[in-house]
Amino acid sequence: MIGLDTNVLVRYVLRDDVQQAEVVDKLIEKCIAERVLIVISLLTIQETEWVLRACAKIDKSSIIALFKALLESADILIETEDILEEALLHFENGNADFSDCLMVAQYQHMACDHMVTFDSKAAKMEGAILLT
């Protein structure tokens, strides 16, 4: 198994550095050929979403599609996939930031009653309440 850093995943997705993207392509091809599992942590997912949205200006629906494709890949293991799936559901159907969606999903997985927040958009999610 190998874990991907955010910068590796971003180079692979954005292809904004041709040399680094080719290096990542070769690594992924080698891992698939040798049956080495590629692992992506939730922190890497969260950082990648921020880079794609804030720096690359990629729209929400494209980010959701990318993360769903990663979840469906047989060659990639996402840390606690069920948490990412739940976060994507919140993100797709609401107005909260992805990070808040991921936190709510994580807290629900940890059996918290809810996440308290000062963020009114996040508080609209099931599993979150506004702290006043």
Distances (CA, A) of 112 to 23, 33, 47, 84, 127: 42, 41, 24, 17, 9
- Return the structure tokens found at 92: 């797709």
Contact of 78 with 37, CB cutoff 8 Å: no
Q: Per the structure block, which two tokens stand in for 118?
A: 């000062």
At 41 the pLDDT is 98
- Please check whether residue 79 is in contact with residue 4, taking contact to mean a CB–CB distance below 8 angstroms: no
Alpha-carbon distance of 44 to 89, in angstroms, equals 18
For the full predicted model, state whether its pTM sits above 0.95: no
Q: pLDDT tens digit string along 33-72?
A: 999 999 999 999 999 999 999 999 999 999 999 999 999 9
